[in-house]
Chains A and B, each alone.
Chain A
């Protein structure tokens, strides 16, 4: 079979031959590896968390102390204080710090999405109705630029 016939034969092939299987398996393995690496590589965990209202930081506390805080909006201003069980708030989210993790345990927001983030040790919890973001801080010092 000369070169021209070989090329014509390859062109007519409908199905995989062994060489194709090897090449595609290797390519699939690479794609899978990169995919898993991008999702499974652990991000650095922080020592503190910050509360941001309308994009601005209004509160920061340590993750090493178990505590409960409440975020609430009063006259359009976002505030955070230690949570007292008996007190009542409007436009609020209760933030619990436990074993170095943060969660929102109660809130009166319209969608309740913030409560479904669960306990986090990295990343953010968002509450869009209250324009609230709870962020686990990075390990280092931060500046504007």
Chain B
């Protein structure tokens, strides 16, 4: 009798938990209005596609997760100097892209920062404690971690990885979700030619083809998430800016409102500057990068480029994004702690009120423009505005 009641309760709790819990770690969403060669996919086709994508994401995650014992990255991190580590196709592909990006960004993008991330308390083992205020590690601790945080100490040849120092450790978090979005896109394109639709792997979105049945005539639209929604009023506080007229593009955002803490009036973000060994302090609070799908590895590039700009002085970051626009048609929106933003490239970026006027005129007076387009040239020195100080004070200790 008791066992039966306990079993019943257990089942009820499982059902309730199942109502809200995602079934896998990497959050993925696929639009329900997707088309192939002009024909809308049926619900059962979409369900089958989602199942296959889920399996693919699991496969990639199991290779590159730092938390999974026996994953490629776990084995690389545990390996001694000179030891050969054989890795799977996804890890090898990601490390190859990382190598190119490391070179192109002059080291601003690096996958070898695991030791520093752990020192600052941002690795997964600290989950649930990221926001706990804490003093900076000592300069000696930072210097020690920095000495084993160079991607130059990692050699990658095909599917073989060899470290030159025992303690160098990798973390592909800066590129993995973008790379996953590329793999998902390849799977979809292989199965459904001339595909139109959108999907997202965490904060990495891919907008494939042209928007079908475009009633409003704006093409695909995307929200640039507001990293300061906590101090923004009005309806739709979660949207800082809005992109319109998009097609065939990968969009990725990195921002400082995830994994951060405030100590002594300073916000410490999870993005570590590989040159200083400290959380990025260049005044940037959010970067969104848009890479045309005609670029190889568009999702991975968008993911990595949106992180790299945090690890350069602001003017250098903007110059870097301008060169990407001129050479590869890659666009960027950079928001800084003075609540100004810079748009690089020819993408249409609208303020909330402008976007409301086009799509929901009745909300135009109820939404708030949070950030202003920068007038004049940006400077490396960014002075946080009153709203930014208000935001930081929300997380400051009494």
Interface of A with B (CB < 8 Å)? 14-16, 20, 24, 27-28, 31, 34-35, 38, 47-48, 54-58, 62, 137, 139-145
Q: Are B9 and A27 in contact (CB under 8 A)?
A: yes
How many CB-defined contacts (below 8 Å) exist between A and B?
Answer: 81
Interchain residue pairs A-B with the least CB separation, the first 9: A140-B236, A56-B213, A145-B205, A143-B221, A141-B236, A143-B223, A144-B220, A31-B12, A145-B222
Query: CB of B16 within 8 A of chain A?
Result: yes
Partner of A20, one of B2, B16, B19: B2
If A62-B362, A141-B223, A145-B198 touch, whether A56 touches B215 (CB-CB below 8 Å) is yes
Contacting pair B198 A144 (CB below 8 A)? yes
Q: Are B363 and A141 in contact (CB under 8 A)?
A: yes
- The count of chain B contact residues (Cβ–Cβ below 8 Å) is 42
Closest to A35 in B: B16
- Do the beta carbons of A47 and B363 come within 8 Å of each other? yes
By a CB distance below 8 angstroms, the chain B residues around A137 are 360
In the complex, what residues of A have CB within 8 A of residue B315's CB? none
B221 contact set on A, CB distance < 8 A = 143-145
Instruction: From known contacts A20-B2, A34-B16, A38-B19, infer whether A141 and B9 are also in contact, taking CB-CB under 8 Å.
Output: no
Does B207 have its Cβ within 8 Å of any Cβ on chain A? yes
Chain A residues with Cβ under 8 A from B205's Cβ?
145
In the complex, which residues of chain B have a beta carbon less than 8 angstroms from the beta carbon of A35? 12, 16
Determine whether B242 belongs to the interface, using a CB cutoff of 8 Å to chain A: yes
- Min distance, Cβ A71 to any Cβ of chain B, angstroms: 14
Report how far A16 CA is from B251 CA in the complex, Å: 59
A-side contacts of B360, CB under 8 Å: 48, 137, 141
Given the complex of chains A and B, what is the CA–CA distance between A140 and B246 in angstroms?
Answer: 20
Instruction: Please indicate the chain A residues that have their CB under 8 angstroms from the CB of B352 in the complex.
Output: 141
Interface residues of B (CB under 8 A from A): 1-2, 5-6, 9, 12-13, 16, 19, 31-33, 40, 198, 200, 205, 207, 211-213, 215-216, 220-223, 235-236, 238-239, 242-243, 246, 251, 352, 355-356, 359-360, 362-363, 367
- Enumerate chain B residues within 8 angstroms of A48, measured Cβ to Cβ: 360, 362
Q: A144 to chain B: which residues have CB within 8 Å?
A: 31, 198, 207, 211, 220-222, 246
What would 14 A/B residue contacts be, using CB atoms closer than 8 Å?
Answer: A24-B5, A31-B9, A139-B236, A140-B235, A140-B238, A140-B239, A140-B363, A141-B235, A141-B367, A144-B207, A144-B246, A145-B198, A145-B207, A145-B220
The CA-CA distance from A66 to B355 in the complex, in Å, is 26
Q: How far is the CA of A48 from the CA of B238 in the complex (A)?
A: 19
Write out the residue numbers on chain B whose beta carbons fall within 8 Å of the beta carbon of A142.
359
Q: Which residues of B contact A139 (CB under 8 A)?
A: 235-236
